[in-house]
Amino acid sequence: MVTVHVSVPDELPAPLPAELHYDMSDPYAVRLSLGAPAARPVDWVFARLLLTEGLRRPSGTGDVLVIPRHRCHPHSVRVVLRSSAGAALIDIAESAVAAFVQRTVSLVPPGTESLHIDIDRALAELTGRRD
């Protein structure tokens, strides 16, 4: 668990507990959970590659953007989350993001993700089969 700083329009930045998750059964994705676990956190799922690239350069389009070393917080990575309700800027310590990415890479090296997907289970979930 780390503390992130969340900024939304017309509000002062606020600290919030957060956690990055990685599941080898969904090797292309990471999950960012915002809020205390007891309070039903809000989860955002996006590409691991997006987070990895975002450590070095601005990355992403659409609902999730990752920007390294923002000028206001030079030791953080900024994650921009957008939805129909608005946008939030999440500043996470760069060291925490880099350590998390390194742990995921040690579990599933880039380029080997497809070896960790259970195709039969994925097809069963898509088709609703329960064989």
Confidence of residue 126 (pLDDT cuts 50, 70, 90): confident
Q: Could you write out the DSSP letters of every residue in 62-131?
A: TTEEEEEEETTEEEEEEEEEEETTEEEEEEEEHHHHHHHHHHHHHHS-TT-GGGG--HHHHHHHHHT---
Question: What integer pLDDT is reported at residue 116 of this predicted model?
Answer: 80
Question: What integer pLDDT is reported at residue 131 of this predicted model?
Answer: 61
For 21-76, the pLDDT digits (tens) are: 999 989 999 999 999 877 889 999 999 999 999 999 999 989 999 999 767 778 99
Question: What integer pLDDT is reported at residue 10 of this predicted model?
Answer: 84
Question: What integer pLDDT is reported at residue 74 of this predicted model?
Answer: 80
